Amino acid sequence: MKFQIKNIVAILFMALALTSCSDNDDSVAVNELDGLIKFQEMTNTTHTIELYSKAGTLVQGYNEIKLRIKDNATNQYVKNATVSWMPIMHMAMMNHSCPNSEVEKITTEGTLYEGYIVFQMAQNDTEYWDLKVNYTIDGVDYTTTSVIDVPASVKRTVNSFMGSDNVKYIVAYAEPSYPKVAVNDMVVGVWKMQDMMTFPVVDGYTLKIDPRMPSMGNHSSPNNVHATQTTAGDLYNGKLSLTMTGYWKINLQLAKPDGTIVKGEEITETVTASSIFFEIEF
Ligand SMILES: [Cu+2]
């Protein structure tokens, strides 16, 4: 009898240990995907690539995208891949890409890779985007391509324009994703179109911001800070002051390092909006 109870206790202990072990694994996975929603899977014969974003969709504009690669044979997530991507818009007369970052592993132990893609145009009935993901695992190259859904945004968060210097620029709003009545940390991006497939980051410019509420006499807000870059190749940081909830038009001017404005107008009594702007409503 005594021996049997000992055995039962031992078995219970082992069961508990195993349970808590798998609980730990689950909680790691849950934390990694915390706040993320899967919006698409891309499958080839060997792998399934899961695409995630905070909103669970892609938008016309700036998209922070996370992905992980599942081995179809083992159902395990690949932790040692080298990943790159190429978004292409298939238009009636031509194909083109858009600004996009390198794809980097977030943590060594985790399964997620991340980067950004800035869709400067939305899809329509006849024109669409697809995404090609190239990845290498243990020296073997793989690829997969899928059509992706890029619906038009109601609010403008990306501007694509020709500057006075005849360079084609793209500026996009990245943060705050959830604006507050406060001085918000603002993140924007500035890229140029080198050719149809190449959109490098523009370094050392200033994106001047002038947020206004058109419905309330076009009033502004205090303590805004124009967006500038700390490190070449990075996004730009500024401060966006929002004094109340509602619709704001963030009027923009893009300035070269020497101060020359390549696009956008200063807001005055007679000029109530710039030709380039972002819109938010919260
Ligand atoms: Cu296009």
pTM for this one?
0.88
Domain boundary among 148, 178, 195: 148
The reply to whether 263 and 174 lie within a common domain is: yes
Q: Tell whether the model's pLDDT for residue 102 goes beyond 90.
A: yes
Q: Tell whether the model's pLDDT for residue 25 goes beyond 80.
A: no
Would you say residue 180 lies in a domain?
Answer: yes
Mean pLDDT of 198-209: 98
Domain boundary among 148, 171, 203: 148
As residues whose CB is below 5 A from the ion ligand 1, the structure lists 89, 91, 121
Mean pLDDT of 155-160: 98
- pLDDT at residue number 23: 45
- pLDDT at residue number 6: 58
Q: Tell whether the model's pLDDT for residue 222 goes beyond 60.
A: yes
Mean pLDDT of 15-35: 59
The reply to whether 175 and 237 lie within a common domain is: yes
Would you say residue 80 lies in a domain?
Answer: yes
Q: Which of 23-27, 56-60, 234-238 has the lowest mean pLDDT?
A: 23-27
CATH number at residue 218: 2.60.40
Mean pLDDT of 2-15: 53
Would you say residue 30 lies in a domain?
Answer: no
What is the CA(98)–ligand 1 centre distance, in A?
9
The reply to whether 275 and 173 lie within a common domain is: yes
Mean pLDDT of 191-213: 98
What is the CA(89)–ligand 1 centre distance, in A?
5
The reply to whether 176 and 241 lie within a common domain is: yes
- pLDDT at residue number 220: 97
Domain tally for the chain?
A: 2
- pLDDT at residue number 31: 84
- Tell me which residue of 104, 120, 115 sits closest to 191, measured CA to CA: 120
The domain of 143 spans: 37-148
Mean pLDDT of 268-277: 96
What is the CA(127)–ligand 1 centre distance, in A?
7
What is the CA(181)–ligand 1 centre distance, in A?
35
The reply to whether 118 and 178 lie within a common domain is: no
Q: Which of 15-19, 46-50, 231-235 has the lowest mean pLDDT?
A: 15-19
Please enumerate in sequence order all residues whose Cβ is within 8 A of that of 134, keeping only pairs 6 or more positions apart, or say none.
83, 84, 85, 86, 141, 142, 143
Q: Tell whether the model's pLDDT for residue 7 goes beyond 90.
A: no
The reply to whether 104 and 180 lie within a common domain is: no
Would you say residue 23 lies in a domain?
Answer: no
The reply to whether 113 and 167 lie within a common domain is: no
Would you say residue 28 lies in a domain?
Answer: no
Would you say residue 5 lies in a domain?
Answer: no
What is the CA(88)–ligand 1 centre distance, in A?
9
Domain boundary among 102, 127, 148: 148
What is the CA(96)–ligand 1 centre distance, in A?
6
The reply to whether 46 and 128 lie within a common domain is: yes
Would you say residue 62 lies in a domain?
Answer: yes
Mean pLDDT of 171-192: 98
The reply to whether 179 and 277 lie within a common domain is: yes
SS (H, E, C) 133-184: EEEEECCEEEEEEEEECCCCCCCCCEEEEECCCCCEEEEEEEECCCCCCEEE
What is the CA(93)–ligand 1 centre distance, in A?
10
- pLDDT at residue number 1: 47
Would you say residue 105 lies in a domain?
Answer: yes
The reply to whether 173 and 244 lie within a common domain is: yes
- pLDDT band at 27; cut points 50, 70, 90: low
